[in-house]
Structure 1
């Protein structure tokens, strides 16, 4: 029997590579290794689970045993990989055993960026990046305030995840206050008019925003927690969530001698700098691009599965609109490339905003809000591919 294809990670990236590979190759041994329970769930659902009355348990669609049966694979849950030997194609596991691989897929995801906060309650700051994090978050909402339900939550970061959690908390009648050093919500994705409308709709639902400030310390107080902010002011709250961004998990790859920049550096065939090693998902930097969204993961999974099955296939990225899960003001954005030269052209009324980022006659990106989100597919067809 040949050595297996081994996938490190059981998130959307890892399991979708496994599923796509099994469509093309039903015989090659397949092993999925996960440091957690390895149940299949959709990570994007974490930021709107409260509105759907979901729990950590009900978010799991299939447990590890069902995934193993579905994929005709061995799924090793609660298993740490401590080393990769790319010369001998072997992994070292946390129990000291080794596992040989034919091909290795790194689908390790990303970790929340941690702020260097001071204070006696700095260790209570939560991030929600996986199912276990969500379980802790949900428990804290019910117990953090001396066993009483939480009423106030401070969210550090007014980006996509921060806004989504603010919207979701409103469904629990919890008052979120969103803090950011930037001057508005989603500043890297939306033009000013769209940012202002999204903020206004969230504020109408009960959210608060403070811009131009960050948190420096979190301390316990008589009625919960007290944040000290960078301008010297304070904010009282019951719970603090950090949503300031993610950093690709690349430590294992770096220790193995693979080239790492922001993430694990891979080419268009998702091959890393050592033979028979690949990377996908949030940990993969494809020709200088990090795209921590669902659609790029699906494109990667299909391309890499074909490559692993013997048909080398470069990944292609068409224009891929991102849905911001803020039902208070529906928003879809297809951001222009970071170095794109052009200007936003915005039309707005009470029911919608249509923002086009154009260079001359060429549409390079767009943002749609309200009723205009129905135009996303039509406009996406006019935007150049990210990677053709």
Structure 2
């Protein structure tokens, strides 16, 4: 029997790679392994599911069984991978099963970064990174009126906006001076903050939580400025750390993520990496559009047509209906300056290099209508 293409992970990257492979090759054996029940759902919808009245169950588009039929694949749900043997081209599972592979794709995702909080309630701080997390989080929201969100980045701000639909008062804490600091320049960040504050979000910038204690049915947060705050629930959204442990144990090169070239190939023969766990020629981009570029390129490579991944300029859509926002930040360290204009009902920030060429933008409110035009003017990221 021919060894299969083995995909570890059934998230956005893993399942979409399998779909792209099936478009190109109807017969190559496919096996997917998942830590959870392996449902097909849209992870980006987790941070705006409350406003649309979605539960963890209704977010599921297709079960693992349905996906197995559609992909003509073997899908192993609730199975833990313990080791990768790149010499023997096989993967060991916790239950003792050993899976051979022709090609191995690591679509392992990333784990939420945990803040070093003290206090007796620190273990009760929640994070939402998958469907199981969302089920636990949404169950705890019943009766909650005040939620503390640790982190004013993309996910923290999206959850804050989403909670407004449930009549919940979200307070966002972040040591940075303005929200969405990795996506927006300062003035745009201030404009974004004002828009969400007008809708009911409370921001406490320049402040971080250092401890969380139980106080009856609520939580007491001890903050870096010496003050305290109370909340019915605490959600941590301070970022993600790529899952590199399995690769590192198998002597596959890792950096921030699993290091790959433009063909998504790792340092081990026959092993590729995609999605949130991958570091593609130095770039770790945990967003939908880069992942889709990766899976299309890798599917071609694995079916006989070596294809390097390319990244056009890929704006990030911030799901905050209180103030629609789209950002395409310039490459880190690039020389240039932000030029801001204020069209009616919005703000446009354009990053210009010394020769006047656009290299990034941030669009807020009515200015988001310019997304397509400006995106076409930006150079490719890769």
Question: What TM-score results when the alignment is normalised by the length of structure 2?
Answer: 0.99
Instruction: Give, in whole Å, the separation in 2 of the partners of 1:296 and 1:32.
Output: 21
SS in 2 for 1:95: coil
Q: 1:373 aligns with which of 368, 375, 378?
A: 368
* Map of 1:353 onto structure 2: 347
SS in 2 for 1:336: coil
1:21 aligns with 2:15: no
Instruction: Give, in whole Å, the separation in 2 of the partners of 1:119 and 1:189.
Output: 32
* Map of 2:95 onto structure 1: 95
* Map of 2:241 onto structure 1: 247
Is 2:36–2:79's contact at 8 Å kept on the other side of the alignment? yes
Q: 2:320 aligns with which of 321, 326, 331?
A: 326
Displacement of 1:350: 4.5
Instruction: Give, in whole Å, the separation in 2 of the partners of 1:34 and 1:187.
Output: 33
SS in 1 for 2:377: coil
SS in 1 for 2:347: strand
Q: 1:382 aligns with which of 366, 377, 380?
A: 377
Instruction: Give, in whole Å, the separation in 2 of the partners of 1:333 and 1:212.
Output: 22
1:10 aligns with 2:13: no
Instruction: Give, in whole Å, the separation in 2 of the partners of 1:308 and 1:245.
Output: 31
Question: Cα deviations across residues 173-199 of structure 1 (Å, max 9, x unaligned)?
Answer: 100000001101011210122111111
Question: Cα deviations across residues 259-317 of structure 1 (Å, max 9, x unaligned)?
Answer: 01000000000000000000000000001100000000000000000000011000000
Point out where structure 1 has 5 or more consecutive residues left out of the alignment: 143-148
Displacement of 1:349: 4.2
Question: What TM-score results when the alignment is normalised by the length of structure 1?
Answer: 0.97
Instruction: Give, in whole Å, the separation in 2 of the partners of 1:101 and 1:213.
Output: 49
Instruction: Give, in whole Å, the separation in 1 of the partners of 2:195 and 2:357.
Output: 31
Is 2:343–2:367's contact at 8 Å kept on the other side of the alignment? no
* Map of 1:131 onto structure 2: 131
Q: 1:192 aligns with which of 186, 192, 196?
A: 186
* Map of 1:84 onto structure 2: 84
Instruction: Give, in whole Å, the separation in 2 of the partners of 1:49 and 1:63.
Output: 19
Is the deviation greater in 126-135 or in 366-375?
Answer: 366-375
SS in 2 for 1:162: helix
* Map of 1:146 onto structure 2: none
Instruction: Give, in whole Å, the separation in 2 of the partners of 1:248 and 1:274.
Output: 18
Note the 1:23-42 alignment, pairs <5 A.
23-42=23-42
Is the deviation greater in 219-228 or in 276-285?
Answer: 219-228
Displacement of 1:377: 1.2
SS in 2 for 1:171: helix
SS in 1 for 2:120: coil
* Map of 2:309 onto structure 1: 315
Displacement of 1:222: 3.4
Is 2:35–2:80's contact at 8 Å kept on the other side of the alignment? yes
Displacement of 1:11: 0.2
Note the 1:165-314 alignment, pairs <5 A.
165-222=159-216, 224-314=218-308
Question: Cα deviations across residues 127-173 of structure 1 (Å, max 9, x unaligned)?
Answer: 0000000000000101xxxxxx0000000000111110100001111
* Map of 1:145 onto structure 2: none
Moved over 3 A (4+): none
SS in 1 for 2:370: helix
Instruction: Give, in whole Å, the separation in 1 of the partners of 2:365 and 2:19.
Output: 35
